[in-house]
Amino acid sequence: PTSCRPTTRWRARRVADRVVAARPRPDLLQRLAVQTAEREQAHLLRRLRTIEQAEGPWLQTGGRRMLSFCSNDYLGLARHPQLIAALTRAAAQEGVGSTSAHLICGHRAGHARLEQALAAWTGRERALLFSTGYMANLGVLQALLAPGDICVQDKLNHACLIDGAKLGGAELKRYPHADVGAAARQLGSRPGAAALLATDGVFSMDGDVAPLRELAALCAKEQATLLVDDAHGLGVLGPRGAGSVGAAGLGQHEVPLLMATLGKALGCAGAFVAGPAALIDGLIQFARPYIYTTAMPPALAAAALEAVQLAQAEDWRRDRLAALIARFRRGAEQLGLPLMASTSAIQPLLLGHADAAVAAMQALDAQGLLVSAIRPPTVPAGQARLRITLSAAHEEDHVDRLLGALETLRLPRRSS
Ligand code: PMP
C-alpha cells in the first residue's frame, strides 16, 4: 500500500543524513556571496542607484542632474498635482497605512471605488487590487493552477508570470517569442489537461505587442484560459487608454484574466486583476498573495483613482507620447541605430554583448543622460540592450538631445 512509501523514504533520508553528518553544512550566506562574486566577474553585477531628487524626467543622482529615459511613467502622471492632492487629502483623512490585509480591516471605501473604476475602464465585470504586479501574477496563477495542469507562456514573459506558474505547480512550457504555432503545439501536447496561456500584452524589454487576437482564437479552440499581463499597455494603448487588450478589441469573454499595474502609466504603485465575478470571488478565497498581505495604503488608492480618470480623459497625453515615439524612431532610423520592432513607449536598442550595453550606458551617463543597460539574465545572452523609455513628460528637445548623444557613440549600425 502507498502508506508504506513515505515511511520508507523517510527512513532512507535519516540514514543518508547520518552518513553526511560528519561533513559541515554548506553556509548559505557564503554560497550567496560566491554567486554574487561570480556575477561580478562576468561583468553582470546589478548595481543600485540612489535618486536624490525627481522632477518629471529630470533626476538627480550622485549630485548630478540627469535627463532620464528609463522610467515607466509613460503618461507623465507620477508628479501630477491632482494625484498629489488626492494622496495628501486621503492620508490626512485616513492615515498612511491600511493597517491590515483586505480581508481583516484593510479594505477601505477608496479601494472599492478604485476597483469599480478599473473594472469599468477595462470593460470587465469586476477588479481586485493587489499590492504589486508581481503579487497579482503570483496570486492569479497560484489560485487557478494545480499540479497536472499545463501553463503555456511566451518565452519573454515577465519573471512574475513564470514564477506564478511554478508556484501553481502546473507543467510550464515556454514557446518562442510570439510564436502562436508553437503555443498551439504545446497546448496540443496535453489535450485533456486544464490549460492556461499567459502572455505579456506589451513585452517589458522588447516593447512589442503580443499577437493577442491569434492567441485568443487559439485559446478558444483549445479551451484554454487566456491571461494577459498589460503592465506596459494600460494607459498607453487602445481607446481611452484601455490597453493592448482593448486595442485588439478583445473583451472579457476572450481574455477572462486581465492583469495590469498602477506603477507605470498611472504613476502610482500596486496592481489589479480584472475579469468575471467568479474569478474575483475565487481570488479572494484562494490567492495567497492577496489574502496574506497588507492592503495598499488608502491614500495610494485615492491617487490611483485620480490617475485612472486622467488617463481615460486626457487623450493628448497618448498623442504626445505617440509623437515623441515617432520622432525618436525616425531619428534613430536615420542614424541606422539597431531599433527593435516596437511601437510602444519602450524603444530598446539591441547591442548584443553585455559589455557593449554597459559602455553605451556609461557614455550616455557622461553626457547627462540616464538610460538603463539590460543584460542577461534579464534578457537572453547576446541580446543585451539599452532600454530607452519615453514619456509624455518628455519634450521634443529631450528626444533630440538623446539622438544627438547616441550619434556620438560607436554603436552597431544597421547596414541599409
Ligand atoms: N508584469 C510586467 C510585464 C512588468 O513589467 C512588471 C514590472 N516590472 C510587473 C508585472 C510587476 O509589477 P510591479 O512592479 O507592480 O510588481
Which of 260, 391, 235 is CA-nearest to residue 313? 235
- CA-269 nearest atom, ligand 1: 15
Interval 256-277: pLDDT, tens? 999 999 999 999 999 999 999 9
Q: Indicate which residue's Cα is closest to atom 12 of ligand 1.
A: 133
Per-residue pLDDT for 2 more than 60? no
- Regarding the beta carbon of 204 and ligand 1, being less than 6 Å apart is answered yes
Please give the residue that has the higher pLDDT: either 226 or 14: 226
CATH code of the domain made up of 53-75+315-408: 3.90.1150.10
Question: What mean pLDDT is predicted for residues 52-71?
Answer: 96
Binding-site residue set for pyridoxal 5'-phosphate: 133-134, 204, 232, 261
pLDDT band at 1 (very low <50, low <70, confident <90, very high): very low
Interval 139-194: pLDDT, tens? 999 999 999 999 999 999 999 999 999 999 999 999 999 999 999 999 999 999 99
pLDDT band at 377 (very low <50, low <70, confident <90, very high): confident
Q: Indicate which residue's Cα is closest to atom 9 of ligand 1.
A: 133
Choose which residue among 160, 228, 344, 372 to substitute to test ligand 1 binding: the one with the highest number of ligand atoms within 8 A of its C-beta: 160
- Regarding the beta carbon of 126 and ligand 1, being less than 6 Å apart is answered no
User: Chain-centre distance of CA 127, in angstroms?
Assistant: 18
CATH code of the domain made up of 81-313: 3.40.640.10
Distance 26 CA to ligand 1 centre (A): 34
Distance 198 CA to ligand 1 centre (A): 14
Q: Residue 194 has which C-alpha cell?
A: 486544464
- Regarding the beta carbon of 160 and ligand 1, being less than 6 Å apart is answered yes
Interval 319-337: pLDDT, tens? 999 999 999 999 999 999 9
- CA-262 nearest atom, ligand 1: 15
- Regarding the beta carbon of 344 and ligand 1, being less than 6 Å apart is answered no
Q: Say which residues have a Cβ less than 8 Å from residue 240's Cβ, sequence separation at least 6.
A: 121, 246, 312, 313, 315
Per-residue pLDDT for 64 more than 70? yes
- Regarding the beta carbon of 134 and ligand 1, being less than 6 Å apart is answered yes
- Regarding the beta carbon of 154 and ligand 1, being less than 6 Å apart is answered no
- CA-200 nearest atom, ligand 1: 3
**Every domain range in the chain assigned CATH 3.40.640.10:** 81-313
pLDDT of residue 45: 87
| C-beta of residue 173 within 8 angstroms of C-beta of residue 130 | no
Residue 310 identity: L
Cα(27)–Cα(239) distance, integer angstroms: 54
pLDDT band at 9 (very low <50, low <70, confident <90, very high): low
pLDDT of residue 413: 76
Choose which residue among 156, 158, 272, 290 to substitute to test ligand 1 binding: the one with the highest number of ligand atoms within 8 A of its C-beta: 158
**Every domain range in the chain assigned CATH 3.90.1150.10:** 53-75+315-408
pLDDT of residue 193: 97
pLDDT band at 15 (very low <50, low <70, confident <90, very high): low
- Regarding the beta carbon of 132 and ligand 1, being less than 6 Å apart is answered yes
- Regarding the beta carbon of 231 and ligand 1, being less than 6 Å apart is answered yes
Q: Indicate which residue's Cα is closest to atom 15 of ligand 1.
A: 133
pLDDT of residue 3: 45
The catalytic site residues sit at 204, 232, 264
pLDDT band at 19 (very low <50, low <70, confident <90, very high): low
Interval 339-360: pLDDT, tens? 999 999 999 999 999 999 999 9
Q: For the full predicted model, state whether its pTM sits above 0.90.
A: yes
Question: What mean pLDDT is predicted for residues 87-97?
Answer: 97
